Structure 1
């Protein structure tokens, strides 16, 4: 997973920190399709590191991974998802996320390593409600 994230230009410095849940997604035959994760802060969830294998891009894999992540977060008590992205805002907007100002995010989300240090200040903040 670390190599896939690094190749995609996504942060890897804090992957082993506590409170993070990461998942590998594979075909039934075991072929890697992608990775994704989240950090939960009470009802707020920071979606982390969604990456699709190069050979699986454009096939709807990302659209399949995100609902699985959101469901897992919901099952753990998450009710609102947040994410930061430098170049994938249109993708996330197509699946229900909306752009928002950083000042609207909860303090716990703004205090994450992603928001405070790992993502550039120019990264777009997006949010959406998590529904079952």
Structure 2
């Protein structure tokens, strides 16, 4: 199995912004104090990006990007599982919004949730209020 190196950054660097632009994903609201991004790589280089937002028991899986040259090789699954593994013991649930169907995340144990029941912090994030829109699929995974 490929060894994946998970480098953490507390800020959104230019490479992440370029990857988000290329994936036609929003770059607004990046760089908040409660956001952390990981730039996973292996011996062949950068795989993509994944990020978390928040500091309580409920956190937002902020983004998942696998570079186009790495798609279809199982990296998306590996990155989400690795992120769930590095989430500290204080994290009980991960929340995620996607403009897609959410099927990828459902296969990883995320379940559909009612947006009206989202914790206050999650409901107040830019992802929730404006960036993803009201039609975005809202999913939760219990890590406990």
Does TM, normalized by the shorter one, top 0.5? yes
Q: How does 1:21-32 map to 2 (within 5 A)?
A: 21-29=36-44, 31-32=45-46
Paired residues of 1:25 and 1:35 also in contact (CA < 8 A) = yes
- Alignment partners' CA distance in 1, 2:79 and 2:69: 15
Which residue of structure 2 aligns with residue 102 of structure 1?
115
Shift of residue 76, structure 1, vs aligned partner: 5.7
SS in 2 for 1:55: helix
| TM-score between the two structures when normalised by the length of structure 2 | 0.84
- Asked if residue 71 in structure 1 is aligned to residue 85 in structure 2, the reply is yes
If asked which structure has higher relative contact order (CA below 8 Å, sep 6+), I would say 1
Provide the C-alpha distance between the structure 2 equivalents of 1:118 and 1:124, rounded to a whole number of angstroms: 13
Q: 1:55: which partner in 2?
A: 69
Q: The residue matched to 1:81 in structure 2 has which SS? A: strand
Q: Deviations over 1:76-121 (max 9, x none)?
A: 6211000000115010001100111101211110001110111111
Distance in 2 between residues matched to 1:33 and 1:65, nearest whole Å = 9
Structure 1 range deviating more: 75-84 or 16-25: 75-84
CA RMSD of aligned residues (A): 1.3
Match of residue 14, structure 1, among 12, 25, 29: 29
Aligned-partner Cα distance in 1 for 2:64–2:138: 15
1:8: Cα distance to partner? Answer: 1.1
Change (3 A) 1:27 1:88: farther
State yes or no: 1:112 paired with 2:121: no
Q: What TM-score does the superposition give when structure 1 sets the normalisation length?
A: 0.91
Gaps of 5+ in 1: none
Give 4+ residue runs of structure 1 displaced > 6 Å after superposition: none
